[in-house]
Structure 1
Amino acid sequence: MRFGVVGTNWITDTFIEGAGAADHASVTAVCSRKKETALSYAEKHQLSYTYTSLEEMCEGGEIDAVYLATPNAVHHEQVLTCLEKGIPVLCEKPLTATKALAEKMIEASKTHQVLLMEAMKSTVMPNFQRVKELLPEIGTIRQVRFQYGQYSSRYDKFKAGEILNAFKPDMANGSLMDLGVYTLYPIISLFGPPDAVQSDSTVLHTGVDGQGAVLLSYEGMNVTAGYSKIADSFLPSEIAGEKGAIHIDHISSPGKVTLLTRDGAVDHTTEQTKPSMSYEIEEFIKTAEAGKIESDINTHEISLKTVELMEQIRKQQGIIYPLDRE
């Protein structure tokens, strides 16, 4: 499958690395707003084609699919453009910022019968699949604690008065959208939508959140999610049941899985020989080859319910994006 990439930041670099190690994948084209940027990026990664128009890239006949690594605020319009042109889309997380826009994107996928998949890498990685296999070992699940704290490389500039995209509401950014999604998406994937939601956050002067904490209520089970772009966290995530617990080293990219019981701890890590993004690329290709419009793992429903949950959390915290008016 020949991918065209949209966006030229570090995550696109990581995607190209993942595609190089994935089965049946290659990257042939890049689209950027500026021709100079596209040319420079193509030279850096030895890509054959450059575009400044997404429509032209979709119509050029040089790609089979698009990987979107653009600001959250433009995901929906770019996804719709690709789907209308018959081009499958692997869209970086989060899919979008509002339930209404997510519904439009999913409806377009169904209308045009073209694949749309959210690029949530963690849930398709072998070690997350191992976590799912281990769940019966810990009995009735009572508590879940997923967390992701990573001090943003852009936060020092923010404190110095330079506001980059990571902290701009018009880009639909902030801690919840950029990092919180890594905790909430797998929660929805494993347990479905919660019965009730309570949340708290630290809102920065630009109107986006620097960090947050969420309590999700399920029958007989409490789930907490913590995330921060203004503090690092080094604790594992945990699923705790009546018979034991499962520890996941990094919920955003599970690399080690440990089963802990009253008898001790056992390492259940599955060997992952490829870059983390290779697994989502292979899942996307497998889904496309099967003629499906959604992944069996990263389903449309999980994406929709995650967006809906994050929108509910933002409303509780008074975090408003210009996108909310669309």
Structure 2
Amino acid sequence: MRFGVTGTNWITDTFIEAALAADHAEVTAVCSRKEETARTYAEKHQLPHTYTSLEEMCDSGEIDAVYLATPNAVHHEQVLTCLSKGIPVLCEKPLTATKALAEKCIAASNEHQVLLMEAMKSTVMPNFRRVKELLSEIGTIRQVRFQYGQYSSRYDKFKAGEILNAFKPDLANGSLMDLGVYTLYPIISLFGAPERIQSDSTLLHTGVDGQGAVLLSYEGMTVTASYSKIADSFLPSEISGENGAIHIDHISSPGKITLMTREGTTDQSVAQDKPSMAYEIEEFIKTAKEGNIESSINTHEMSLKTVELMEQIRKQQGIVYPIDSL
């Protein structure tokens, strides 16, 4: 599958590196608003084709799919453009910022019968599948604690008065959208939507959140999710049951899975010999080859439920984006 990419940041670099290791994938084109940026990026990664128009790239005949790594606030527009052109889309998380916009994207996928998949890498990785297999080993699950704290390299500039994209509400950014989604998407994948939601956050002066914490209530089980772009965390995530617990080293990219019971502790990790993003690429290609318009793992419903949950959290925390009115 020949991918065209949009966005020329570090995550696109990582995607291209992963595509080199994935089966049946290659990146052949890049689209950027500025021709100079597109050419420089194409030279960096030895891509044969450059475009300054997404429509032109979709019509070129040089790509089979698009990987979107642009700001969150424009995901929906670009998804709709690609799908209307018959081009499958692997859209970087989160799919979009609101339930209404997510519904439009999913409706377009159904209308045009073209594949749309959210690029949540963790849930298609072998070690996340291993977590699902181990759930029965720990008995009735009572507590879940998922966390992702990573001090942003852009936060120092923010404190110095320079506001970069990561902290701009007009781009639908902030800690919840950038990092919190890595905790919430797997929660929805494992346990479904919660019965009640309570949350709090540290708001920055631009109106986005620097960090946050969420308490999700299920019957007989409490789930906490914490995330931060202004502080690092080095603790694993944990699923605790009446008979034991499962530790996940990095919820955003599960690499080591540990099972802890009263009988002892065992490493339950499985081999992952490819870059983490390679697994989402292979799931996307597999889904396309099967002629399906959604992944059986990262389903449309999963994306919709996660977006809806994050929108509810934002409303509780008073985080408002300009695209909320669309």
Q: Tell me which residue corresponds to 2:227.
A: 227
Aligned-pair CA distance for 1:264: 1.2
Secondary structure of 1:118's counterpart equals: strand
Q: Tell me which residue corresponds to 1:18.
A: 18
Alpha-carbon distance in structure 2 between the residues aligned to 1:133 and 1:64: 34
Alpha-carbon distance in structure 2 between the residues aligned to 1:120 and 1:264: 32
Aligned-pair CA distance for 1:234: 0.2
Q: After the TM superposition, which residues 49-128 of structure 1 pair with which residues of structure 2 at under 5 Å, given as runs?
A: 49-128=49-128
Aligned residues: 326
Aligned-pair CA distance for 1:76: 0.1
Is 1:132 aligned to 2:132, yes or no? yes
Secondary structure of 1:33's counterpart equals: coil
Aligned-pair CA distance for 1:215: 0.1
Gaps of at least 5 residues in structure 1 are none
1:124-149 deviations in Å (ceiling 9; x for gaps): 00000000000000000000000000
Alpha-carbon distance in structure 1 between the residues aligned to 2:70 and 2:110: 23
One-letter identity of the residue aligned with 1:204:
L
Secondary structure of 1:152's counterpart equals: coil
1:227-256 deviations in Å (ceiling 9; x for gaps): 000000000000000000000000000000
Secondary structure of 2:223's counterpart equals: strand
One-letter identity of the residue aligned with 1:119:
A
One-letter identity of the residue aligned with 2:276:
S
Alpha-carbon distance in structure 2 between the residues aligned to 1:140 and 1:114: 39
Alpha-carbon distance in structure 1 between the residues aligned to 2:312 and 2:25: 37
One-letter identity of the residue aligned with 1:152:
S
Secondary structure of 1:144's counterpart equals: strand
Q: After the TM superposition, which residues 156-235 of structure 1 pair with which residues of structure 2 at under 5 Å, given as runs?
A: 156-235=156-235
One-letter identity of the residue aligned with 2:30:
V
Q: Tell me which residue corresponds to 2:271.
A: 271
1:267-297 deviations in Å (ceiling 9; x for gaps): 0011100000000000000000000000000
Aligned-pair CA distance for 1:18: 0.5
Q: Tell me which residue corresponds to 1:320.
A: 320
Q: Tell me which residue corresponds to 1:297.
A: 297
1:154-202 deviations in Å (ceiling 9; x for gaps): 0000000000000000000000000000000000000000000000000
Secondary structure of 2:251's counterpart equals: coil
Q: Tell me which residue corresponds to 1:9.
A: 9
Aligned-pair CA distance for 1:224: 0.1
Secondary structure of 1:86's counterpart equals: coil
Sequence identity (%): 85
Aligned-pair CA distance for 1:55: 0.1
Alpha-carbon distance in structure 2 between the residues aligned to 1:45 and 1:159: 33
Aligned-pair CA distance for 1:40: 0.3
Secondary structure of 1:319's counterpart equals: coil
Aligned-pair CA distance for 1:258: 0.3
Secondary structure of 2:156's counterpart equals: helix
Alpha-carbon distance in structure 1 between the residues aligned to 2:110 and 2:143: 36
Q: Tell me which residue corresponds to 2:153.
A: 153
One-letter identity of the residue aligned with 1:233:
S
Q: Tell me which residue corresponds to 1:253.
A: 253
Alpha-carbon distance in structure 2 between the residues aligned to 1:264 and 1:155: 41
Calculate the TM-score normalised by the size of structure 1.
1.00
Alpha-carbon distance in structure 1 between the residues aligned to 2:95 and 2:187: 16
One-letter identity of the residue aligned with 2:54:
L
Aligned-pair CA distance for 1:263: 1.2
One-letter identity of the residue aligned with 2:190:
L
Q: CA RMSD in A?
A: 0.3
Secondary structure of 2:145's counterpart equals: strand
Alpha-carbon distance in structure 2 between the residues aligned to 1:66 and 1:237: 32
Alpha-carbon distance in structure 1 between the residues aligned to 2:294 and 2:111: 13
Q: Tell me which residue corresponds to 2:238.
A: 238
Alpha-carbon distance in structure 1 between the residues aligned to 2:259 and 2:318: 39
Alpha-carbon distance in structure 2 between the residues aligned to 1:42 and 1:318: 41
Alpha-carbon distance in structure 1 between the residues aligned to 2:72 and 2:325: 15
1:96-144 deviations in Å (ceiling 9; x for gaps): 0000000000000000000000000000000000000000000000000
Q: Tell me which residue corresponds to 1:141.
A: 141
Aligned-pair CA distance for 1:222: 0.1
Q: 4+ runs of 1 displaced by more than 4 Å? A: none
Alpha-carbon distance in structure 2 between the residues aligned to 1:239 and 1:18: 29
1:3-53 deviations in Å (ceiling 9; x for gaps): 000000000000000000000000000000000000000000000000000
One-letter identity of the residue aligned with 1:291:
G
Calculate the TM-score normalised by the size of structure 2.
1.00
Alpha-carbon distance in structure 2 between the residues aligned to 1:112 and 1:8: 28
